[in-house]
Amino acid sequence: MDEFRDSVWELTLAGETRGWLTISITVMRSFPFFWDKQENMWSQMHWLDGEHELPEEDYGPGWYSAEELRDGHFVTDDPRNGQETSFTATRVICTERDQLWNQLDHGVIR
């Protein structure tokens, strides 16, 4: 899951940037084996118009969001039409990633 740790993904539709997905990986412990660690993934949508959605959780063994992103897309509801939509997802790297991570403020609801 290291490729998703504190990552930013640009989401486009028909070549147009529609928003960004920020992701963090956290460790949780669960009943009945509290000494066993399990990673989970928190993703948050940040739309181009400034709307920030609530963070959503994904965890193994399925890792559905992770698999979508590895395949180059991400499915979520499009706020423009309320329909489930498959966006093209591209990982943002280097300085642009750092700037967006700070600007988008992952985990904060506005």
Using CA atoms, how far apart are residues 7 and 13, in angstroms rounded to an integer?
20
pLDDT value for 33: 63
DSSP letters spanning 44-96: EEEETTS-BPPPEEEETTT-HHHHHHHTTEEEEE-TTT--EEEEEEEEE-HHH
Segments making up each domain of the chain, as ranges: 2-104
Q: Which parts of the chain have pLDDT scores under 50?
A: none
pLDDT value for 12: 98
pLDDT value for 32: 64
